A and B are shown apart, each in its own frame.
Chain A
Amino acid sequence: MNSLYLIARLAGQQVAIAAGDIQSVVEIEGLTPVPRAPRHVAGLAALRSRVLTVIDSYAALDLCARPVTAVTQAIVVVIEGHLYGLLVDDVEDVVELAGEVEPIRGSMADGWHRAARGMIDNRGHAVLVLDAGALVDGPAALAA
């Protein structure tokens, strides 16, 4: 079964997100912070005339603080009617992958484990398939 994936770079890893979930990829400028929101909510940004809730993927995965980059790229997804921007280091490509998503063997850090759907083969490299919804839910989902 062939599926389209967006390949992005996040914390030194190549990750794949199912393209069906994705609306667009945008550069984020001018974040409005949301005081008292969970740590992984980086803030709000305007996407055309809509409000985008920007997710700090590093925080959502319980990683170290997000490195400051010149251009902040976000993958725009719609989950339950809300528009989210998932911050990534870089967006590399959209590819059609033939393989199945396979369960991960071996151990992973908690954050990654929670957000990963499995692994998929991208031209000989194993790429982690991330669940956009799990990133949006953030670390709090574990407690729930």
Chain B
Amino acid sequence: MEDLLDDFVAETRETLEAIAGEIVAWEAVPADRTRLDSIFRFVHTVKGSCGFLDLPRIEKLSHAAEDALAAVRAGLRVPDERLVSAVLAAIDRIAELVDAVEAGEEIAAENDADLILALSEPAAPAAKEEGPAAVAEARPAARASARSIRLPVELLDRMMSGVSDMVLARNELFRRLQEVAPGDGVEAAFERLSACVVEMREAITRTRMQRIDHLFTALPRLVRDVSAELGKTVTLEIEGGDVELDREMIEMIRDPLTHIVRNAIDHGIEAAAERIAAGKPAKGLLRVSARQSGNQILIEVIDDGRGIDGERLVEKALRLGVLTPDAAVGLTPAARAALIFKPGLSTADTVSAISGRGVGMDVVRANVERIGGVVDLDNRPGLGLRITLRVPLTLTIIPALTVDAGGHRFAIPRSAIEEIVRARSSTIRIEEVGGSVVARSRGRRLPVADLATIMGEAAPALIGQTLVVLKPAGSGIFALAVDSVHDHEELVVKPAAPAVMATGLYAGTTLPDNGRPMLLLDPAGLARAGGLSDGGEIVAEEPAAPAEAEATTPTFLFRDVDGALRGLRLSLVQRIEEVQATALTMAAGRLRLVKDGGSVPVVVCGTLPQASAFQVLRIGDGTSEVAYVIQSVVDIVPVGNAVAPAAHPGLIAGVVMVGDEPVELIDPFWLFAEAGEAFGRAAESPLCLLRGGDEDWMREILQPLLLQSGYRVAFASEAGAEEADLVIEGEGSTGAPPVARTPVVKLRNRPEGDRGSIYRYDRASLLSALNARPGR
């Protein structure tokens, strides 16, 4: 039925747009039979559909218009001006009603009778001229006739999944290309294809977008009904209806938003008398706004009511046993207000029909988190409450973290991850309490579930593992023990087969770049499988650890290639990625990472280990980027700002204590200054001096190779050997005096000859001599 109605609305609207011109033309020449016929067909069709769809008002109107037009067609009536405006008014009204049907609104019916009367025989001369006129005014501005077509949603879904497939196919192609090392032309073509795919994906994502207006149009009615029922007066302000988001997403936030708006009127906005007593205007204000911020949509619901009474919530939580008295003492005002997210808590003392059954905010939060969103509260007691929903633009692409456990690799949705801690770090203590494992970390006691055990694999000892602290929707916080943590990735997630979903552990499947399908874990399901669904409460053990008062900076800890534990301010880390060893190349005496069409300088502390792939940190200062090769990711921890400075300026800024382990902090200033040379400032490139031999050959044939390798080139006539970083001598050089500390490469013209020189067309030896330049 819903579908039929939607079809009817869309079809009627389309025909209305199409006959708009006919109507105007008919108005000019009422005797025009073809125009008359098409208008007649329109009202006739509308009448037919309305009877079937049970839309009595539109049916009556179209019926009356049809009768009048039929009389004209039969030559029984003359299409005078009065009749024409009556028909036009009726059609305008039909358009209005159709809009109302779509929005699920009601339009006052009192004018319909006038319109129908106006359509009737001229025997009723009392027809009110202002009736139609008033209606014409009331009609919203004519819908812009955008070039548009109607498409079934399944087709869009199919296109979307097709494009997702394309992205994956492109990734696979990229992988294969890397294996076979194709020629330049292929890479350029691939880049072009990549760009097209990305553009295509964006365009198709946009086709699935809907204006959030679709959600907001229902609000005026909702606010009217709820406030009328409660005897309150509320002004609703809506902003940002033109913000677009995925239509699936719109459906997912419809209920949470309705809940929040109801709550705001019911619990937030006070009765008029109370408002006046508090010095506020009698009419409450409710603002609903939407805006886009990066990859997220922010929906704010702001009321100027009484805000959340934290004290009362705490009292109630104590009474219901949701909170222990000890825990209550340490709660910040924000934490008190956040108690509204606890199941069973509601600030209303009396249960009303609107809300207040305690099934509000916990469900709201669970629903929003299920789609990767977040609910924020900004509570101003006595002044009002702001609730912000942050939701991702689309459901299909999920940022995730990949982890290993029990020999399997899984993805965990990033939205559920609170933090990652190393099980062995001193900030955490693992204890066994009555057979269950508990981790104590910074004043919290977290139940621990072992992923390998949940998956039915033999669990390795907890020691040495990483704990991923998860806060799944609808269940308590817990720590998931995994063997290791890998990259952050944006994954295209698809639903898994029913037999796989039935395990309750997985949220879907994905095909990452490596071409091996991976399962996306469902954190709430893991909690259930780990037997933590109820026990997993945050236990505020020590109200507020005094250590937390100390200023700290989130710091990224990693094991460097030389085995040392080092840290870097988290804000500088752009991402962690795995790169193939083949992507690291020497150029101009510096290691560079060549990936995705660009290259960034690589910093290695010590020597690059032998391996086929490396983990690198991408570090950015806003304008330039450096890749830092690491052995493994350890943890992200808040680290105090008390740094014992290093004795000499260098890669290490100083040492901080993380727990009782010293961690060397990387000096980002030094890092960028050092790597900065490779950012392309020509004057800083090393200088290669060419002397002797065949100067034309050197200029025309050798020089391009040198420039390509990142050298500047000078000839003996232009610079002295002392300034050069490298000297290349042609055969038959007059034996200029050797220069201390400047390496000299001798070339010979024939393949066979003196071991101390390089054949001038032996590219490999030449390149390795260029790259072996000592110094940096």
Q: Which residues of A contact B (CB under 8 A)?
A: 30, 32-38, 40-41, 44-46, 48-53, 80, 82, 84, 136-138, 140
Contact partner of B511 (CB less than 8 A), chosen from A51, A84, A137, is A51
By the criterion CB–CB under 8 Å, are B497 and A84 in contact? Answer: yes
The answer on a CB contact under 8 Å between A136 and B166 is: no
Q: Known contacts A32-B519, A49-B165, A50-B165: does B406 contact A41 (CB below 8 Å)? A: no
Selecting from B500-508, B642-650, B662-670, the interface stretch reads B500-508
Q: Give the CA-CA distance A89 to B364 in the complex, in Å.
A: 51
B455 to chain A: which residues have CB within 8 Å?
A: 35-36
Known: A44-B517, A46-B511. 8 other contacts (CB 8 A): A30-B515, A35-B456, A35-B505, A37-B500, A46-B516, A46-B517, A50-B511, A51-B517
Q: Which of A33, A49, A80 contacts B408 (CB 8 A)?
A: A33
* A35 contacts B499, C-beta separation under 8 Å: no
12 residue pairs A–B, Cβ–Cβ below 8 Å: A32-B516, A33-B408, A36-B455, A37-B499, A40-B499, A41-B499, A44-B509, A48-B172, A50-B165, A50-B511, A53-B496, A140-B499
How far is it, in angstroms, between the C-alpha of A41 and the C-alpha of B503 when the chains are bound?
Answer: 11
- B503 touching A36, Cβ below 8 Å: yes
Contacts of A51 in B (CB 8 A): 494, 496, 509-511, 517
Are A34 and B519 closer than 8 Å at their CB atoms? yes
| Smallest CB separation, A85 vs chain B (Å) | 11
The contact string, 1 if C-beta is below 8 Å from chain A, for chain B 382-420, is 000000000000000000000000101000000000000
Complex CA gap A48/B165 in Å reads: 8
Q: Which of B510, B517, B529 has the most CB of A within 10 A?
A: B517
Contact bitstring B29-52, A, C-beta under 8 A = 1, else 0: 000000000000000000000000
Chain B residues close to A by CB (< 8 Å): 164-169, 172, 406, 408, 454-457, 494-500, 502-503, 505-506, 509-511, 515-519, 529
The CA-CA distance from A57 to B242 in the complex, in Å, is 52
A52-B165 Cα distance, complex, nearest whole Å: 13
Nearest 4 pairs of A and B residues by beta carbon = A49-B168, A35-B455, A44-B517, A53-B497
- Tell me, in angstroms, the Cα distance from A51 to B503 when the chains sit together: 18
A109 to B702, CA, bound (A): 79
Q: Residues of A contacting B406 with CB < 8 Å?
A: 35
Contact A53-B169, Cβ < 8 Å, known A44-B509, A46-B517: no
Question: How many Å from the CB of B506 to the closest CB on chain A?
Answer: 8
Give complex CA distance A80, B498 in Å: 10
Minimum CB distance partner of A80 in chain B: B498
Residue in B closest to A32 when the chains form the complex, CB atoms:
B517
Which residues of A lie under 8 Å from residue B164 when comparing CB positions?
49
Which of chain B's residues have a CB closer than 8 A to the CB of A137? Answer: 499
Q: Which residues of B contact A48 (CB under 8 A)?
A: 165, 169, 172
Complex: chain B residue closest to A48, CB-CB: B169
Given contacts A46-B511, A51-B494, A136 and B499 within 8 Å (CB-CB): yes
Q: Are the C-beta atoms of A34 and B169 separated by less than 8 Å? A: no
Contact between chains at B168 and A38 (CB < 8 Å): no
Chain A residue with minimal CB distance to B505?
Answer: A36
B101 to chain A, nearest CB (A): 32
What number of A-B contacts does a CB cutoff of 8 Å give? 80
- Complex Cα distance, B516 from A139, in Å, reads 27
CB distance from B63 to the nearest CB of A (A): 44
Chain B residues within an 8 Å CB radius of A35: 406, 408, 455-457, 505
Contact residues in B for A30 (Cβ distance below 8 Å)? 515-516
Give the residue name and chain of the B residue nearest to A52 (CB). B517
Q: Is the CB of B499 within 8 A of A38?
A: yes
Measured between beta carbons, the chain A residues less than 8 angstroms from B518 are 32
B499 and A45 form a contact (CB under 8 A): no
The residue that A82 contacts in the complex, of B165, B498, B505, with Cβ under 8 A, is B498
Give the CA-CA distance A53 to B454 in the complex, in Å.
21
Complex Cα distance, B502 from A38, in Å, reads 9
A140 to B500, CA, bound (A): 13
A49 touches B456 (CB 8 A): no
Query: Which residue of chain A has its CB nearest to the CB of B171?
Result: A49
Decide: A36 and B456 in contact? CB cutoff 8 A: yes
Chain A residue nearest to B170 in the complex (CB): A49
Q: Is there an interface contact between B169 and A41, defined as CB atoms closer than 8 Å? A: no
Closest to A44 in B: B517
Q: Output the residue of A32, A34, A35, A137 with the most chain B CB within 10 A.
A: A35
Taken together as a complex, chains A and B put the C-alpha atoms of A35 and B500 apart, in Å, by: 9
Across the interface, which residues of B come within 8 angstroms of A46, CB to CB?
A: 511, 515-517
Q: Which of B496, B499, B509, B511 has the most CB of A within 10 A?
A: B499
Least CB distance, B180 to chain A, in whole angstroms: 18
Q: Is the CB of A49 within 8 A of B499?
A: no
Chain A residues near B167: list those with CB within 8 A.
49
- Residues of A within 8 Å of B496, CB to CB, are 51, 53, 82
The CA-CA distance from A45 to B586 in the complex, in Å, is 37
B498 partner residues in chain A, CB cutoff 8 A: 80, 82
The winner among A49, A52, A84 for most chain B CB atoms within 10 A is A49
Complex Cα gap A36–B506 (Å)? 10
By a CB distance below 8 angstroms, the chain B residues around A53 are 496-497, 499-500
Q: Separation in Å of the B504 CB from the closest CB of chain A?
A: 9
Question: Closest CB-CB distance, A27 to chain B, in whole Å?
Answer: 15
- Given A32-B519, A84-B497, check contact A37 B503 (CB 8 Å): yes
Residues of A contacting B506 with CB < 8 Å? Answer: 34
Give chain B residues whose Cβ lies under 8 Å from the Cβ of A138. Answer: 499
Which residues on the B side are within 8 Å of A140 (C-beta)? 499
Please indicate the chain A residues that have their CB under 8 angstroms from the CB of B456 in the complex: 35-36
What is the bound-complex CA distance between A132 and B497, given in angstroms? 14
A128 to chain B, nearest CB (A): 23
With A49-B166, A50-B511, A51-B511: A34-B500 Cβ-Cβ less than 8 Å: yes
The answer on a CB contact under 8 Å between B503 and A34 is yes
Residues in A whose Cβ lies below 8 Å from that of B408: 32-33, 35
Please name the residue on chain B nearest to A41 by beta carbon: B499
Which residue from chain A places its CB closest to the CB of B406 in the assembled complex?
A: A35
Q: Which of B164, B166, B518, B519 has the most CB of A within 10 A?
A: B519
Contact B511–A82 (Cβ < 8 Å)? no
Q: Complex: how many Å from CA A50 to CA B168?
A: 8
A137 to B408, CA, bound (A): 25
- Report if A49-B511 is in contact (Cβ < 8 Å); known contacts: A32-B518, A35-B455, A35-B457: yes
CB distance from A87 to the nearest CB of B (A): 14
* Interfacial chain A residues near B529, Cβ < 8 Å: 36
Instruction: Give which listed residue, A40, A44, A80, A82, contacts B519 with CB less than 8 A.
Output: A44
Instruction: Tell me the bound Cα distance from A36 to B518 in angstroms.
Output: 15
Q: Are B503 and A82 in contact (CB under 8 A)?
A: no
Set of chain A residues within 8 Å of B505, measured between Cβ atoms: 35-36
Cβ of B401 to closest chain A Cβ, rounded Å: 18
Q: Report how far A38 CA is from B500 CA in the complex, Å.
A: 8
Chain B residues closer than 8 Å to A52, beta-carbon distance: 517
Q: Tell me the complex Cα distance, A63–B166, Å.
A: 39
Chain A residues near B169 (CB-CB < 8 A): 48-49
CA distance A53 to B172 in the complex (A): 19
Q: How far is the CB of A41 from chain B (nearest CB, A)?
A: 5
| Residue from A33, A36, A41, A136 whose CB has the most chain B CB atoms within 10 Å | A36
CA distance A137 to B499 in the complex (A): 7
